[in-house]
Amino acid sequence: MNKRLVRPTLVWLIILVILPLPLLWLLNAGLTDSFHNLLIYDLGLLAYTYWLTIVYLSTRPKWLERWLGLPKMYLVHGLLGVCALALALLHSQLSFSMQRWVVLTGWLALYLAIGGVFYAAFFLSGWLVDYLPRAAKLKKRLQRPFNHRVSLWLHRLNFVAIALIWFHVHLIPRLYQLTGFIIFFDCYTLVAVAAYCWQHFVATDLAKNKGRVIGNRPLSPRVQEVTVKLSSQASPYQAGAVYFLSFRGRGIPAEWHPFSVASASQAAPPEVKLVIDRVGDFTKRIGQVPPGCPVVLQGPFGRFEQEIEATAPKTPLVLIAMGVGIAPLRSLVQRYVGKRPITLLWSVHVPTERYFEGEFKDLAKREATFAYHSQVGRLTKERLATLLTESERVRAKVIVVGSAQGVLAIEGALLGLGFKKRQFIDERLTI
């Protein structure tokens, strides 16, 4: 089996089969009923187990992120939600009960799950908006009423659905009398909810997850650079890493947002430079964050450096950025310049957005193995053909960062030039 598929396959095996197995065994061993009725119970139990797993995955466990990377972990999170909903729908269509509260709690949980999955697919993922331009335009129009904070609170209605399912099971006399099953059922629920509460209400107070703003300056009319000094107990970050940040100053929303690191880790305790596009309901106010503002961080996340280190030492790097997608690539340039051949391509909408132009041009003059090109407007297939060498088409590791539709367009053009999908790593700035 391809080594790149081993870890995802193991994760899916654990989630889909091994994790629910103890509950399924305790239920089927303790309950005497027909195969049809046991199957109905099993479908509902599988759906519930997968929803609890989704809650655990929402804490972004570091061990799993190191294994899979954040994008794949989010993919597992989303697909598991769809799978759980499909199983719950089957369970609801096949089951029958005369008990009013059992029926009511089950249907309410199902309606919340259906709404949650469809809402998340549209507002909290790129499943639709990355590939359907009309969907992307509609989402943009709806971003004011359904802003990031509203979306997160609506998504948290999943906890209401989980509570309803918990009551749903405890209200069924035949199941409640299975002591071993109920104990395990409650333990599964407790572990998932406890992991979420720890991550969101306890871990945020740990010193290693704290920092403070020491700089906040505009790079262009719409882009801000924020510098955060991390705690002396903070874990070192890798080039191109991502942090989830929450600013805790007066009058500043404390909601969590992901930002890519635009600097290589050198200082101790390290400083993190973040390049932020002021386009969202929250980021439009990022310029108001004052120096000294406390910051709580989750992370660092990201596997760019791991992916690069897994290649041969002199493998060339082709880094392609669109707009603020330059942030993690600047970090990678600082980390690998002079150590590997690097070609950096940067496209922007207007000339004023090339805020690192002087820095990269000076670097290209000093380092023979570093090439830099920027342009206003899209990088077309024809333009890419003139900028990239035959050696890069065959050997290079390609990292593309930008809007989801832009990333897909660039990767399509590169495939047309002879690059292979296995050469690509990307980061899509969907949300």
pLDDT in tens, 367-402: 999 999 999 999 999 999 999 999 899 999 999 998
What contacts 282, CB < 8 A, 6 or more positions away?
A: 147, 148, 149, 253, 255, 257
Residue 229 has pLDDT above 80, yes or no: yes
Residue 50 has pLDDT above 90, yes or no: yes
Structure token pair of residue 52: 């609890």
What is the structure's pLDDT at 367? Answer: 92
Q: Which residue has the higher pLDDT, 190 or 208?
A: 190
- Number of C-alpha atoms within 13 angstroms, CB side, residue 278? 18
Domains of the chain, CATH where assigned:
3-204 (1.20.120), 207-302 (2.40.30.10), 309-428 (3.40.50.80)
Q: Which of 50-54, 177-181, 305-309 is predicted least confidently?
A: 305-309
* Contact call for residues 426 and 411 (beta carbons, < 8 A): yes
pLDDT in tens, 134-166: 777 777 777 666 666 676 777 778 899 999 999
Sheet of strand 424-428, all strands in order from the earlier edge strand to the far edge:
370-376, 342-348, 317-322, 397-402, 424-428
What contacts 318, CB < 8 A, 6 or more positions away?
A: 342, 343, 345, 388, 392, 396, 397, 398, 399
Using left for φ > 0, alpha for ψ between -120 and 50, and beta otherwise, residue 362 falls in alpha
Rounded mean pLDDT, 91-101 = 87
- Number of C-alpha atoms within 13 angstroms, CB side, residue 229? 11
What is the structure's pLDDT at 4? Answer: 64
pLDDT in tens, 414-429: 999 999 988 898 877 7
Rounded mean pLDDT, 214-220 = 91
Asked, as a colleague might, if the bond just before 300 is cis with ω within 30 of 0, I would say yes
- Number of C-alpha atoms within 13 angstroms, CB side, residue 215? 14
Rounded mean pLDDT, 3-14 = 79
Q: Which residue has the higher pLDDT, 112 or 265?
A: 112
Average pLDDT, the chain: 87
What is the structure's pLDDT at 361? Answer: 94
pLDDT in tens, 23-37: 999 999 999 888 999
Residue 45 has pLDDT above 90, yes or no: yes
Rounded mean pLDDT, 341-356 = 92
Q: Look-up: residue for tokens 């107070």?
A: 205
Rounded mean pLDDT, 220-240 = 87
pTM of the model: 0.80
Q: Distance (Å, rounded) from C-alpha 248 to C-alpha 185?
A: 37
Q: Which of 222, 220, 200, 197 is nearest to 209 (CA)?
A: 200
What is the structure's pLDDT at 25? Answer: 96
* CB-CB neighbours of 228 under 10 Å: 26
What is the structure's pLDDT at 207? Answer: 60
CA angle, corner 90, sides to 87 and 92, nearest 5?
A: 110
Q: Which of 220-229, 277-286, 304-313 is predicted least confidently?
A: 277-286
Residue 266 has pLDDT above 90, yes or no: no
What is the structure's pLDDT at 382? Answer: 92
Residue 205 has pLDDT above 90, yes or no: no
Q: Which of 132, 165, 197, 136 is nearest to 23 (CA)?
A: 165
What is the structure's pLDDT at 87? Answer: 95
What is the structure's pLDDT at 12? Answer: 86
Q: Distance (Å, rounded) from C-alpha 263 to C-alpha 206?
A: 24
Q: Give residue 301's pLDDT band: very low, low, confident or very high (50, 70, 90).
A: confident
What is the structure's pLDDT at 226? Answer: 93
